[in-house]
Amino acid sequence: MANWAGNVVYQAPRVHRPASLDELRALVARSDRIRALGTGHSFSRVADSTGDLVRLDALPPLLEVDSARRTVTVGAGMRYADLTAALHRAGFALPNLASLPHISVAGCVATGTHGSGDGNRCLSASVRALELIAPDGESTVVDRESHPDTFAGSVVALGALGIATRVTLDVVDTFEVAQRVRVDVPLDEIGAHLDEVFAAAYSVSVFTDWHGERASVWLKQRAGATGSGWAGGRAATRRLHPVPGMPPGGSTEQLGVSGPWFERLPHFRPDLVPGAGEELQSEYYLPRAAAAQAVTALRGIGGLLQPLLHIAEVRTVRGDDLWLSPAYRQDSVTFHFTWIDNPAVRTAIAAVEEILTPLGARPHWGKLTLLPPARVAARYERAADFRRLRAHHDPGGKFGNAFVEEMFPLPR
């Protein structure tokens, strides 16, 4: 069994799909080593295991909206595509969404996955409570109010603290978004006016191949909001796909047509296969202050990158307080690379990391990196605290794997 991209073949001898929580609890209790597997959209080995894997998508569906508390509680294996429409019908929304609505809530939360927007934190920052299956098979709840000292370490946790079964998220009132695309935007202009570009809408993405002189900028504006007024390049007059040359039908509605938040914030429609096809991905969060320097440096190696790229994307993410979030305590700019599936990509990733690592880059947990695990972990000031938290929740390492153990080894 492999991940969505096919670049990771899971080592697990068995993959389980329990149909009830009791079945899941019994499975966890009798397993020596086990990890949850979401939709398989991670390109790293964060979900891999030499023990068993368990998928949660066969558990009874759960979606409970609490209007008074302004929360929604969902089954951890639920996809955002299945959550968002129901949440909208109840009059509520999530503040932000990732590019793909196909991914599971728990998988997204565990890896600090994000959308875009100067004022928008990663999706994990909406979590108010988690229900986890502990090593003995019993359920435990970790929430923001009852666990103020450790909750921030329990959300983006790489699946290492237990099997998540329920996730409670804070919600906001539902809202409308209109999406417009600006094309033929000079990269010089983006580098020189980066703050103005990313303040132009509620959610902003810049797409480029780093070799040409132009980019396209996707502006997702919330109804009633005003941006910076930036409007470089020219307005697209037809629907586009983020990857040049790809059919635009898989993209969300554009051309300024207003619609519900969940139909505009992602780049891709949930009913079609996302992305460019055979691809690999890497992504890095940098301190916002390093953005302009990073743009200049990446343009300098554009000739190396462009032949190996489907497309690259730049977004912004507001800082948060989650220990293992790549945006921990820093407003960030993210540099994302969708690569052609080619062995030469390793050379390109090495060149990107040589440029971005000195600028403070933190790799996305679910994407490819060549940085040594210890060097990645060293970029998190709460790494030692997370190791202690892991030892408290899972002293025997039942929920660990090589990826987690190399980053945050249990005390010997």
Query: For residues 30, 33, 39 and 44, what is the CA-based torsion angle, rounded to 10 degrees?
Result: 180
Confirm whether 387 is domain-assigned.
Answer: no
Q: Which residues pair with 39 in a beta bridge?
A: none
Q: How many Å apart are CA 99 and CA 366, to the nearest integer?
A: 14
Q: How many Å apart are CA 403 and CA 214, to the nearest integer?
A: 38
Q: Which residues pair with 63 in a beta bridge?
A: 74
Confirm whether 1 is domain-assigned.
Answer: no
pTM over the 0.85 mark: yes
Q: How confident is the model over 76-100, as pLDDT tens digits?
A: 999 999 999 999 999 999 999 999 8
| Whether residues 127 and 213 fall in one domain | no
- By DSSP bridging, strand 214-222 and strand 203-208 are antiparallel
| Whether residues 225 and 107 fall in one domain | no
> Among 173, 202, 233, which residue terminates a domain?
173
**φ/ψ of residue 90, rounded to 5:** -85, 0
Question: Residue 4's pLDDT band (boundaries 50, 70, 90)?
Answer: confident
* pLDDT reading at 275 higher than 60: no
| Whether residues 168 and 224 fall in one domain | no
Confirm whether 412 is domain-assigned.
Answer: no
Q: Between vectors from CA 102 to CA 99 and to CA 103, what angle results, nearest 5°? A: 85
CA 18, distance to chain mean position in Å, is 26
Confirm whether 92 is domain-assigned.
Answer: yes
Q: Which residues pair with 37 in a beta bridge?
A: 55
Q: Could you give the number of structural domains in the chain?
A: 2
> Among 354, 372, 390, which residue terminates a domain?
372
In SS3 terms, the chain reads as CECCCCCCECCCCCEECCCCHHHHHHHHHHCCCEEEECCCCCCCCCCCCCCEEEECCCCCCCEEEECCCCEEEEECCCEHHHHHHHHHHCCEECCCCCCCCCCEHHHHHHHCCCCCECCCCCHHHHEEEEEEECCCCCEEEEECCCCCCCHHHHCCCCCCCCEEEEEEEECEECCEEEEEEEEEEEHHHHHHCHHHHHCCCCEEEEEECCCCCEEEEEEEEECCCCCCCCCCCEECCCCCCCCCCCCHHHECCCCCCEEEHHHCCCCECCCCCCCCCCEEEEEEEEEHHHHHHHHHHHHHCHHHHHHHEEEEEEEEECCECCCCCCCECCCEEEEEEEEECCCCHHHHHHHHHHHHHHHCCEECCCCCCCCCHHHHHCCCCCHHHHHHHHHHHCCCCCCCCHHHHHHCCCCC
Confirm whether 154 is domain-assigned.
Answer: yes
Q: What is the mean pLDDT of the chain?
A: 95
Q: Which residue has the tokens 């996302």?
A: 274
* pLDDT reading at 277 higher than 70: no
Q: Which residue has the tokens 């996707």?
A: 218
Query: For residues 181, 183, 187 and 190, what is the CA-based torsion angle, rounded to 10 degrees?
Result: -30
- The CATH number of residue 340's host domain is 3.30.70.2520
| Whether residues 151 and 192 fall in one domain | no
| Whether residues 156 and 299 fall in one domain | no
**φ/ψ of residue 152, rounded to 5:** -65, -20
| Whether residues 110 and 221 fall in one domain | no
> Among 136, 157, 173, which residue terminates a domain?
173
Q: Which residues pair with 340 in a beta bridge?
A: 279
Q: Which residue has the higher pLDDT, 411 or 202?
A: 202
Confirm whether 380 is domain-assigned.
Answer: no
| Whether residues 366 and 256 fall in one domain | yes
- If you average pLDDT over residues 206-230, what whole number do you get? 96
Q: Which residue has the higher pLDDT, 140 or 1?
A: 140
Q: How many Å apart are CA 383 and CA 379, to the nearest integer?
A: 8
Q: Which residues pair with 36 in a beta bridge?
A: 54
| Whether residues 306 and 325 fall in one domain | yes
Q: Is 336 left (phi over 0), alpha (psi -120 to 50) or beta?
A: beta
* pLDDT reading at 201 higher than 90: yes
| Whether residues 166 and 191 fall in one domain | no
Confirm whether 203 is domain-assigned.
Answer: yes
Tokens at 389, concatenated: 């938290």
Question: Residue 190's pLDDT band (boundaries 50, 70, 90)?
Answer: very high
* pLDDT reading at 359 higher than 80: yes
Nearest alpha carbon to residue 239 among 257, 265, 258: 257
Give the percent of the chain with pLDDT over 90: 93
Residues with Cβ within 8 Å of residue 198, at least 6 apart in sequence: 118, 204, 316, 333
Q: How confident is the model over 281-322, as pLDDT tens digits?
A: 999 999 999 999 999 999 999 999 999 999 999 999 999 999
Q: Is 318 left (phi over 0), alpha (psi -120 to 50) or beta?
A: beta
Domain that holds residue 88: 63-173
| Other residues' Cβ atoms within 10 Å of the Cβ of residue 382 | 18
Q: How many Å apart are CA 188 and CA 179, to the nearest integer?
A: 24
| Whether residues 182 and 292 fall in one domain | yes
Question: Residue 273's pLDDT band (boundaries 50, 70, 90)?
Answer: low
- The CATH number of residue 156's host domain is 3.30.465.10
Q: Between vectors from CA 256 to CA 252 and to CA 219, what angle results, nearest 5°? A: 70
Q: How confident is the model over 363-402, as pLDDT tens digits?
A: 999 999 999 999 999 999 999 999 999 999 999 999 999 9
Confirm whether 31 is domain-assigned.
Answer: no
Tokens at 128, concatenated: 């108010």
| Whether residues 259 and 305 fall in one domain | yes
- Give the model's pLDDT for residue 270: 86
Q: Is 296 left (phi over 0), alpha (psi -120 to 50) or beta?
A: alpha
| Whether residues 319 and 191 fall in one domain | yes
Q: How many Å apart are CA 38 and CA 59, to the nearest integer?
A: 13
